[in-house]
Amino acid sequence: MASSPLVGVEITEEIATLRLNRPDNLNAVTLELLADLRDALVDLPEGEIRGLVITGAGDVTCAGMDREIVADPAYDEKYADEINELTAEIYDVLTSRPYPTAVAARGALIGIGFILSLRCDFLVLGEETKLALPEVQFGIAATDTVPYLEAIAGTRATKEIVLTGDPLAPERARHLGIANRVVSNEAAEKAARELVGGIAEHDSDAVRELKSATTVPE
């Protein structure tokens, strides 16, 4: 399948890698990038895929939503509905696919990038990655995120993360269960592929049944 200028698609040994491709902008997310990510996920040939890794080009995986969007006083009127529609489609694909999914993060995983990782099965962090949900600092209440984060990290940790918007150290994220592994920044993508690829070697029906047995917040 073809890549777009904003989302690269590679399929190697039945593992798909989707790569956000705005490195000069730290892979900050625009409406166009969201639409391309949605299309790339929907178009993945399910019968040919046994695992998925999402990452970013360059040194930073995702710096969050583009600042021109989140800092706009008219965010609710101009952007919120379209963002919600696109992200709902993206998250539905990620949570419904029968194969393992992971985010490989280095440099930064902020805002919508962090939220995206909560819908995947696994998160592998580079040891120098900045991890944060700063939406509250822009007056945005990302309430749909809370059940997913709370299911992983617990109520009090979730309140701290979403109400302060402060960065979370990778090792603390691992301790809370948000990250599965913390490795060097350079090794993050390889480690995520190895994790997903190892699971993909198991019987696909067993993997699907075990995934569906885990609790996903409504």
Q: Which tens digit of pLDDT belongs to each residue from 34-75?
A: 999 999 999 999 889 999 999 999 999 999 999 999 888 898
Residue 11: Cβ-neighbour burial (10 angstroms; 0-12, 13-18, 19+): middle
Query: In this structure, is residue 218 part of a structural domain?
Result: no
**Domain-embedded: residue 98:** yes
What residues contact residue 23 under an 8 Å CB cut-off, 6+ apart? 56, 57, 58, 59, 60
pLDDT at residue 200 is higher than 80: yes
Q: What percent of the chain has pLDDT over 70?
A: 98
Confidence (pLDDT) at 57? 97
Q: Specify if 28 maps to a domain.
A: yes
What is the domain-level CATH number for residue 70? 3.90.226.10
Instruction: Please indicate, yes or no, if residue 48 is contained in any of the structural domains.
Output: yes
Q: Does the structure show a pLDDT above 70 at 177? A: yes
Domain boundaries, position 83: 7-213
Q: Using one digit for the tens of pLDDT, what is the confidence trace for 146-156? A: 999 999 999 99
Give this prediction's pTM.
0.95
Over the stretch 87-129, which tens digit does the pLDDT of each residue have?
999 999 999 999 999 999 999 999 999 999 999 999 999 999 9
Residue 177 lies in a domain: yes
Given this model, what pLDDT does residue 122 score? Answer: 98
What's the Cα-to-Cα distance from 170 to each of 1, 5, 25, 178, 182, rounded to whole Å?
Answer: 34, 30, 23, 9, 7
Does 116 reside within a domain? yes
Q: pLDDT-derived band of residue 1, with 50, 70 and 90 as boundaries? A: low
Name the more confident of 168 and 4.
Answer: 168
pLDDT at residue 18 tops 90: yes
Q: Give the count of domains, the chain.
A: 1
Residue 126 lies in a domain: yes
The C-alpha atoms of residue 118 and residue 30 are separated, in whole angstroms, by 19
121 located within any domain: yes
